[in-house]
Structure 1
Amino acid sequence: MAHADGATRTVIMTVDDDPGVSRAVARDLRRRYGATYRIVRAESGGSALEALRELKLRGDLVAVILADYRMPQMNGIEFLERALDVYPGARRVLLTAYADTNAAIDAINVVDLDHYLLKPWDPPEEKLYPVLDDLLRAWRAGDHRPVPSTKVVGHRWSARSSEVREFLARNQVPYRWYSSDEPEGRRLLSAAGQDGLRLPVVITPDGTPLVEPEAPDLAARVGLATTPTADFYDLVVIGGGPAGLGAAVYGASEGLRTVLVERSATGGQAGQSSRIENYLGFPDGVSGGQLTERARRQAAKFGAEILTAREVTGLEASGAARIVRFSDGSEIAAHSVILATGVSYRQLTAPGTDDLTGCGVFYGSALTEAASCQGHDVYIVGGANSAGQAAMYLSRGAKSVTLLVRGGSLAASMSHYLIRQIEETPNIHVRCGTVVESAHGDGHLERLTLRDAEGGGTELVDAQWLFVFIGAAPLTGWLDGTVLRDERGFILAGPDLTPDGRPPADWELERPPYHLETSVPGVFVAGDARAESAKRVASAVGEGAMAVMLVHRYLEQS
């Protein structure tokens, strides 16, 4: 349970499972900062996260979070890591005993810990207040203006409602969800002059109602940049996954006028991951949302423009310029282009799944739906890391999680560390050699027919939730006739452009293509969209950085 003073001031939060310690910390904070800041205390990581989410939805600000290390269910490091998703700009302090100093030092790398304090902190005038004063000064130096929340009124089993919620969540736009079946949702619909037949209805912070909004209009109305500020750039990066974000960071930081264009939300498939545990520098893992948000802020800090909800439909070489065309008919041009369009999950072909997509059948992790899975039986299709990470995340609240794997085992496609975690989680079950034959439901998923992959018998199971992670389809159809691709649609580059490694017949330069350069000079590819790429976050980021290095080389010789 969280307790608070005041109603409108910026928050300092303290979390400790010992009620006596919790009250003592809050008392000392109140004595020094109570006139200026609102002191919120919580006695568990779970209740503290609830309080943080409520504060976020109201548009309140949180300056500092202090958490005790030794708490049951969720220790202080785990709590601060999850708090990063809600308030990435808040300063983080770990309260720890002398015996846990090493854990506190490790946390500096795991959660960007700003400081750790040894208990007891008496006298606070010497050990507590000077630390908090410095952290508050640093926090105030940033831009932390409150952001009024957007309201979304929809139905639980509305596919479009699910898409809008996912779009807002992945773009870090605070919003509050209201079911159209509940009194407050009906009140908002009435105030917006809507009868609820067309959902969702999005009410922007300025009170404007948007009925079934398309992504570009929604993005513009909630404050996301959708329009370029110039007609010509040094570098256009197409795609905002790890490769595109890496390219934007390195391009902008090295002085190139850079714009990143993303059709949905930055992060790509990695941004939807509940936890990435094999990325260098994060020994305890990092959520895809955290990694994406840090990278996005880093790119923006260096001056890269980031355009959201802009779909690229064409690419053309015109002399020294590379022209990028958008679906609305507008265009921008640049000296160079990096294609980082990534991949999408392949669609299930089983009868019934198309009609139930967004209504119990989801592609990717759909983290906004995770809370609704509490206490339910969940099915996941796929045997690679993304499926395993989703299984571990959903198993925290679901009654059971069943992984449906076409192959004979997980070993061929999933990292060893994930396989071990799954084996050690009692409510995760793995069914190898099993596929979805069909999906059934009236308006939402109710049952699945499962079939033995070798042609055996079928089984009908009750199911309200199905998350699909089956293979990767490159998002490159719009490049048909522009750059060379392989038979599966992945972009060819460098020595892979031809079987013998020589430049293509229509290559116009004397030099051979650079390693990540496509069949069009000055157009490079990075990440999962490249043929024979490693399909890992770290390699995608590395290729984004390498592509920028090759862009420099190209510009110097042009």
Structure 2
Amino acid sequence: MAQGTDAARTVILTVDDDPGVSRAVARDLRRRYGEGYRIVRAESGESALEALRELKLRGDLVAVILADYRMPQMNGIEFLEQALDVYPGARRVLLTAYADTNAAIDAINVVDLDHYLLKPWDPPEEKLYPVLDDLLDAWRTSDHRAVPITKVVGHRWSARSSDVREFLARNQVPYRWYSSDEPEGKRLLACADQDGERLPLVITADGAVLVEPDDPELAAQVGLATTPAEDFYDLIVIGGGPAGLGSAVYGASEGLRTVLVERSATGGQAGQSSRIENYLGFPDGVSGAQLTDRARRQASKFGAEILTAREVTGLEVNGSSRTVRFSDGSAIAAHCVILATGVSYRQLQAPGTEGLTGCGVYYGSALTEAASCQGHDVYIVGGANSAGQAAMYLARGAKSVTLLVRGSSLSASMSHYLIGQITDAPNISVRTGTVVEAAHGSDHLEQLTLRDIESGHTELVDAQWMFVFIGAAPLTDWLDGTVLRDERGFIVAGPDLAVGGQPPPDWELDRAPYHLETNVPGVFVAGDARAESAKRVASAVGEGAMAVMLVHRYLEQS
């Protein structure tokens, strides 16, 4: 039996060009091994290779391959030689006539043959099953791990490969990464009939092949919801960070038909945090991914619909409804909208960094790239909590971590507990008053030019990894002309809208705007996108819940 393996994904394959013999071999195999293995048969070497490639793409296991020696176009040895490239760990058996025993012996050296069987093999209890039992025992003790999950084949220094890995990781989609230079990566490329020129290659758990997919295509193929189930809702939440997830949980739990729209992955910046230690109720800390996963499952449990990889490009007021438009031209509408779009990390304005983004220069991607930083020197730009959390996480495996801080100290922007941890970490150093002047490298980051702000002195250092956390910009440009924002792009709401104690211009209602309500009645803001917000996870979740309370108040009076 296929002990410890997924029987549905563990295969014994037999190939013989004689249909009668092929059926007989498959019959005897099913009689003995049908409960523990899936028996697949083919009647030519080419069709058997095609079957192996399909099995490989789906992540199925192949334990044993039995091939007849005398087949036209491609004999058994030639077939096993090619099969070895697809499933090098499968045990290989050649079926031969007595006259072909010399060829079978020669094949031991050519294809590393495990055994050859003389035809006929009757009775199988004596001549077939004992041989296969031994081969299956040997196979089970070898490294034959199945990969029935999404697989990504790419180049280490490919920006899009990094983006795909980040997208899958942040959306909690299990995947396995293969470099296009390693043997298994090359096998997967060959099975997908790709030469490696266009990367990344994504192979989904069911065997679908995606070449250089964009986020919407990737989301749809790995099982993430991208299409709304309805045209009209009670509440549309835009943004899936802590504020948006908080709104979705409270909105759905209180009976509102709620849909959350996220352009990339739920969690926002908090979802990328390696550890949040000052969030209420988690004395030992919690990773952003864990907190995000729990919140997403909680929202789904209450009935909230979550759409991923959907970019919102417009907001329209149509009478009592609020219409949200997507980049593909489609739209949904609702009675109310909560803007929880959050913020994105600002780009480092230093020569060379733009072309190396995703190739050694990363913005908030510490979790995905951490394994590759083992034993290397890492630089982190920024002095706030997100930079400190990334430094502590990367320091577990990196040779050294250097924090580059523009200010004179960390105390102005980083929590006290985090400063203490960084001070005590032996492989973390802090360089204050230092900025990145330039980044250098051809296809990946190789060096950095650092400048001391006070003296102007510059220094060239070797560096393959730089993570940037230098403040945030709101994702609100698409609201221009509809929702009032301040000079930095943050959304103005509630009392801040008042001019001389009066409601904002064009405000048509008799009442003043509610606390988190924008200049558009029924459109609220929560979290980091709001002007003068606290920029903390707890406050964002609280504002998400408060916004839903105000949505109820708005609906009651409409």
- The 2-side partners of 1:346 and 1:338 are apart by 24
Q: Are 1:474 and 1:490, in contact at CA under 8 Å, matched by a contact in 2?
A: yes
Alignment partners' CA distance in 2, 1:160 and 1:208: 19
SS at match of 2:356: coil
The within-5 A match list for 1:415-430 is 415-430=415-430
SS of the aligned residue for 1:544 comes to helix
Cα distance between partner residues in 2 of 1:5 and 1:206? 23
Alignment of 1:381-396 (within 5 A): 381-396=381-396
How far apart, CA to CA, are the structure 1 residues paired with 2:308 and 2:509? 34
Q: Which has the higher Rg, Structure 1 or Structure 2?
A: 2
Q: Distance in 2 between matches of 1:205 and 1:373?
A: 28
The structure-2 alpha-carbon separation of the partners of 1:549 and 1:58, relative to structure 1 and needing over 3 Å to count, comes to: farther
CA drift at 1:147: 10
Letter in 1 for 2:156: R
What does residue 299 of structure 1 align with?
A: 299
Would the aligned equivalents of 2:366 and 2:390 in 1 still touch at CA under 8 Å? no
Which residue of structure 1 lines up, in the alignment, with residue 187 of structure 2?
187
Query: Which residue is 1:170 aligned to?
Result: 170
Measure the CA separation in 1 of the matches of 2:60 and 2:170: 17
Q: C-alpha offsets along residues 377-433 of structure 1, whole Å, 9 cap, x if unaligned?
A: 000000000000000000000000000000000000000000000001010000000
CA distance in 2 between partners of 1:499 and 1:510 (Å) = 15
Report the equivalent of 2:337: 337
Deviations 1:167-187 (A, max 9, x none): 001001111111100111111
The Cα shift of 1:8 comes to: 3.4
Q: SS in structure 2 opposite 1:527?
A: coil
Distance in 2 (CA, whole Å) between partners of 1:260 and 1:443 is: 38
Equivalence for 1:459: 459
Superposed, which structure 2 residues align to 1:273-352 within 5 Å?
273-352=273-352
Tell me which residue corresponds to 1:526: 526
8 Å CA contact retained: 1:59, 1:149: no
Paired with 2:365 and 2:206, the residues of 1 have a C-alpha distance of: 31
Q: Is the 8 A contact 2:435 2:451 kept in 1?
A: yes
Instruction: Tell me the SS of whatever aligns to 1:355.
Output: helix
Distance 1:433 1:499 in 2: 40
Counterpart Cα distance in 1 of 2:480 and 2:420 = 42
Cα distance in 2 for residues equivalent to 1:323 and 1:518: 15
Q: Distance in 2 between matches of 1:233 and 1:198?
A: 41
Q: How does 1:38-53 map to 2 (within 5 A)?
A: none
- Tell me which residue corresponds to 1:551: 551
Count of residue correspondences: 424
Cα distance change, pair 9–288 in 1 and its aligned pair in 2 (3 A): farther
Task: State the percentage of identical aligned residues.
Answer: 83
Question: What amino acid is the match of 1:354?
Answer: E
Cα distance change of structure 1 residues 541 and 218 upon mapping to structure 2, 3 Å threshold? same
Which amino acid letter does the alignment assign opposite residue 321 of structure 2? A
Amino acid at match of 1:7: T
TM-score after normalising by structure 2: 0.74
Match of 1:160 in 2: 160
Alignment-mate amino acid for residue 162 of structure 2: S
Match of 2:210 in 1: 210
Which moved further from structure 2: 455-464 or 413-422?
455-464
Structure 1 distance, partners of 2:3, 2:236, is 49
Q: Distance in 2 between matches of 1:193 and 1:480?
A: 46
Unaligned runs of 5+ in 2: 9-57, 62-145
Q: Residues 440 and 184 from structure 1, CA distance in 2 versus in 1: closer, same or farther, beyond 3 angstroms?
A: same
Q: What CA distance in whole angstroms lies between the structure 1 residues aligned with 2:149 and 2:364? A: 26
Give the letter for the 1:544 counterpart: G
8 A contact 1:200–1:211 mirrored in 2:
yes
Matches within 5 A, 1:195-274: 195-274=195-274
Provide Cα deviations, 1:458-490, integer angstroms capped at 9, x if missing partner: 000000000000011000000000100000000
Contact in 2 for aligned 1:243/1:340 (Cα 8 Å): yes
State the distance in 2 between where 1:59 and 1:547 align: 48
Q: Secondary structure at the match of 2:355?
A: coil
Are the equivalent residues in 1 in contact too, given 2:166–2:365 (CA < 8 A)? no
In 2, Cα distance between the equivalents of 1:147 and 1:372? 21
Partner of 1:50: none
Change (3 A) 1:243 1:188: same
CA distance in 2 between partners of 1:365 and 1:553 (Å): 39
SS of 2:153's equivalent?
strand
CA displacement at 1:148 relative to structure 2: 3.9
Contact 2:59 2:207 in 1 (8 A): no
Shift of residue 501, structure 1, vs aligned partner: 4.2
- CA change 1:501–1:157 in 2 (3 A) is farther
Three-state SS of the structure 1 residue aligned to 2:189 is helix
Q: Displacement, 1:204?
A: 1.5
Q: Secondary structure at the match of 1:350?
A: coil
- Superposed, 1:15-26 pairs within 5 Å as none
The aligned residue for residue 21 of structure 2 is none
Structure 1 match to 2:37: none
1:365 Cα deviation from its structure 2 partner: 3.1
Q: Is the 8 A contact 2:152 2:202 kept in 1?
A: yes
Q: 1:284 to 1:501 in 2, by over 3 A?
A: farther
Matched, 1:372 2:372: yes
Give the superposed CA RMSD. Answer: 1.8
Q: Deviations over 1:126-174 (max 9, x none)?
A: xxxxxxxxxxxxxxxxxxxx99411110000000000000000100111
Deviating beyond 4 angstroms after TM superposition, the runs of 4 or more aligned structure 1 residues are 57-60
CA shift, 1:499, in A, is 4.5
Change (3 A) 1:479 1:410: same
Aligned partner of 1:441 in structure 2 is 441
Partner of 2:137: none
* Distance in structure 2 (CA, Å) of the matches to 1:536 and 1:287: 15
Letter in 1 for 2:529: A
Give the alignment of 1:488-499 within 5 angstroms.
488-499=488-499
Gaps of 5+ in 1: 11-56, 61-145
Matching residue of 1:133: none
> For the residues of structure 2 that align with 1:225 and 1:405, how far apart are their CA atoms?
40
- State the match for 1:403 in structure 2: 403
Residue 533 of structure 2 aligns to a residue in which SS? coil
Contact between 1:274 and 1:365, CA under 8 Å: does it hold in 2?
no
Indicate the residue corresponding to 1:131 in structure 2: none
Amino acid at match of 1:519: N
Q: State whether residues 245 and 541 of structure 2, in contact with CA within 8 Å, keep that contact through their aligned partners in structure 1.
A: yes
Distance 2:486 2:538 in 1: 24
Map of 2:50 onto structure 1: none
Question: Residue 198 of structure 2 aligns to a residue in which SS?
Answer: coil
